[in-house]
Structure 1
Amino acid sequence: MGRFTAIIVAILIAISLTSILVVNEGERAIVSRFGKVLKDDGVTRVYSPGLHFKIPMLDKIKFMDARVQTLDGAADRFVTSEKKDLMVDSYVKWRIKDFERYYLSTNGGIKANAETLLQRKINNDLRTEFGRRTIKEIVSGSRDELQSDALKNAAESAEDLGVEVVDVRVKQINLPANVSTSIYQRMRAERQAVAKEHRAQGQEQAEIIRAKTDASVTIQTAEAERKALTTRGEGDAEAAKIYADAYTKDPEFFSFMRSLDAYKASFSGENDVMVLEPNSEFFRYMNSSTGK
């Protein structure tokens, strides 16, 4: 009897433990029994954090996160008012507001279904806002206004999911890869054309400077040669005048010095041979000291 009683007690304890429903902080729970959600006066019963009781083996529990959650989906393509494509990467902060509606609209509170539906609604709202603006307006400062309008529209469209959209943010805006490539190629071609033009202008300026420099050098060289010839002519004239003055003062001495220079130049070599008559005028100072 004692053993049977112990077994009964153990079974009762096990049933008691399995009948306890623990809902953690930041969670909510909905209980379904025989495939139907438990309701109070026609309203779905939502269990708040704490200890609750359920019928073991019959009740199925669905826990739902009541905290603010982040939906960070993949970048999507949007079209501006100029019919320009943009790749927009955004994220959404959201939380469950109406747990009953959320449970029913997501096929039993499945988070993946909720995120898929919410992402679709957010993208539609963002697509509408991007379609009203040009690229310049989006990039140059109206992004805050765009996000504010998208948040307002998303808050309204997400109500049928039982979800409250806390915030909508655009992380990054890029051009599609094929468009970016064509734009970069066009920019590169434009920069190369500008560089080529600057290079041609530089070469033109270099040729002009080089021509001016060559002309200046030619003029300066010609002027220097002219001055040199003038100076040389003036020197030659001055020398000739000095020689003439010296010659007129003592013609005989001048003739003697010229003869000595001629002798030095003629007899400077070892094998010099001269064929002259002995009484030639060239030897007059050799034959007589007076040259007569």
Structure 2
Amino acid sequence: MSNLLKSVLVFALLLVVASSTLYVVSETERGVKLRFGRLIEADIQPGLHVKLPFADDVRLFDARVLTVDAQPASFFTVEKKRLIVDSYAKWRIANVETYYKATGGVETVARNRLANRVNNGLRNQFGTRTLHEVVSGERDALMEDITFDLNESVLGSLGIEVVDVRVKRIDLPQEVSSQVFRRMTAEREKEATELRSTGKEKAERIRASADRERTIELANAYRDAEQLRGAGDAEAAGIYAEAYQQDPEFYSFVRSLNAYKNSFSNKGDVMLVAPDSDFFKYLQNQDGK
């Protein structure tokens, strides 16, 4: 029993020594080794490593691309227009030794310092550009310039590489937004009025053109109808004349009968005509003489 207890104690002691001697750095980490608080090894690569128990201390840091979300800040453009800018930056540790010495390996310290640098960079870049340029015209160039300037500053001082800087949102101050909204509303109403006026003008032109075409079409139709009617009347007159020439006496007789029929169709009609009038010539004599 005593031998088994000794074996367990020895195994436990070896386990404690191994755990305080061996350590592992993963692929997503970088580390530094301190001996009695003094830096003796920087940028420890991933893998299994050995340290002196109770003398060495290993500090591990996240080596992945991280995000720092800066607080919205107020910046002025070259036109002295104030903007509220919300931005973020992507960064990672580039120099582990510099990073540890500058921040003590505390990620929060690195985030705060980088956020301040980002805001200062945005302030400098916004101060040399117009509102149109920072909003749409030169957004990509602005981000590239800020990223380049930040890397020149933070690589040497913080051991950090800035991968990218982006602006999430650009707002006007509340007191300015109302004025801009009213001005935009007035501009849109003016534009709408102009469009309505242009539309009415075009409508009047189209209506006038349609009325003119209608008048022309009606006139042409009336002309064609009169020509057809005249041609028909001429043809009918020719037919009547030809028929009359074949038997003028019979034609005159038929005309007189129609006149009698129309004149005496109503019993209440009264007509005063001389007995020897030509109107009654066929009533007096069948030959009309």
For residues 235-284 of structure 1, give each alpha carbon's deviation from its aligned partner in whole angstroms, at most 9, with x where no partner exists: 69x96xx88xx79x96x766544421222224556xx3566799944554
User: How many residues of Structure 1 are paired with residues of Structure 2 in the alignment?
Assistant: 270
8 A Cα contact 1:151 1:167, kept in partner: no
Provide the C-alpha distance between the structure 2 equivalents of 1:181 and 1:216, rounded to a whole number of angstroms: 52
**Residue among 24, 27, 30 paired with 2:30:** 27
**Residue among 118, 124, 140 paired with 1:122:** 118
Match of 2:78 in 1: 81
Provide the C-alpha distance between the structure 2 equivalents of 1:216 and 1:14, rounded to a whole number of angstroms: 106
8 A Cα contact 1:75 1:89, kept in partner: yes
Provide the C-alpha distance between the structure 1 equivalents of 2:3 and 2:208, rounded to a whole number of angstroms: 125
Distance 1:123 1:94, change over 3 A: farther
Give the 3-state SS of the residue equivalent to 1:9 in structure 2: helix
1:259 aligns with 2:256: yes
Distance 1:32 1:122, change over 3 A: farther
Give the alignment of 1:245-284 within 5 angstroms.
256-268=253-265, 272=267, 280-281=275-276, 283-284=280-281
Compute the displacement of 1:79 (Å): 2.9
Compute the displacement of 1:130 (Å): 2.2
- Which AA in structure 2 matches 1:127? R
Compute the displacement of 1:22 (Å): 0.4
8 A Cα contact 1:62 1:109, kept in partner: no
Distance 1:207 1:278, change over 3 A: closer
For residues 67-114 of structure 1, give each alpha carbon's deviation from its aligned partner in whole angstroms, at most 9, with x where no partner exists: 253224146343322233253533232305253x544543x4221222
Over the matched positions of the two proteins, sequence identity in percent amounts to: 26
1:91 aligns with 2:89: yes
Distance 1:284 1:76, change over 3 A: same
Compute the displacement of 1:198 (Å): 2.6
Match of 2:59 in 1: 63
Distance 1:180 1:147, change over 3 A: farther
TM-score (norm 2): 0.67
Compute the displacement of 1:200 (Å): 1.4
* Structure 2, gaps ≥5 residues long: none
Give the 3-state SS of the residue equivalent to 1:143 in structure 2: helix
Give the 3-state SS of the residue equivalent to 2:78 in structure 1: coil
Distance 1:289 1:154, change over 3 A: same
Match of 1:45 in 2: 40
- Which AA in structure 2 matches 1:290? D
Distance 1:54 1:201, change over 3 A: same
Give the 3-state SS of the residue equivalent to 1:194 in structure 2: helix
- Which AA in structure 1 matches 2:92? W
Provide the C-alpha distance between the structure 1 equivalents of 2:219 and 2:90, rounded to a whole number of angstroms: 84
Match of 1:164 in 2: 160
Compute the displacement of 1:121 (Å): 1.8
Provide the C-alpha distance between the structure 1 equivalents of 2:148 and 2:203, rounded to a whole number of angstroms: 61
Match of 1:111 in 2: 107
8 A Cα contact 2:88 2:167, kept in partner: yes
Provide the C-alpha distance between the structure 2 equivalents of 1:152 and 1:5, rounded to a whole number of angstroms: 64
8 A Cα contact 1:93 1:167, kept in partner: yes
Give the 3-state SS of the residue equivalent to 2:51 in structure 1: strand
Compute the displacement of 1:53 (Å): 2.4
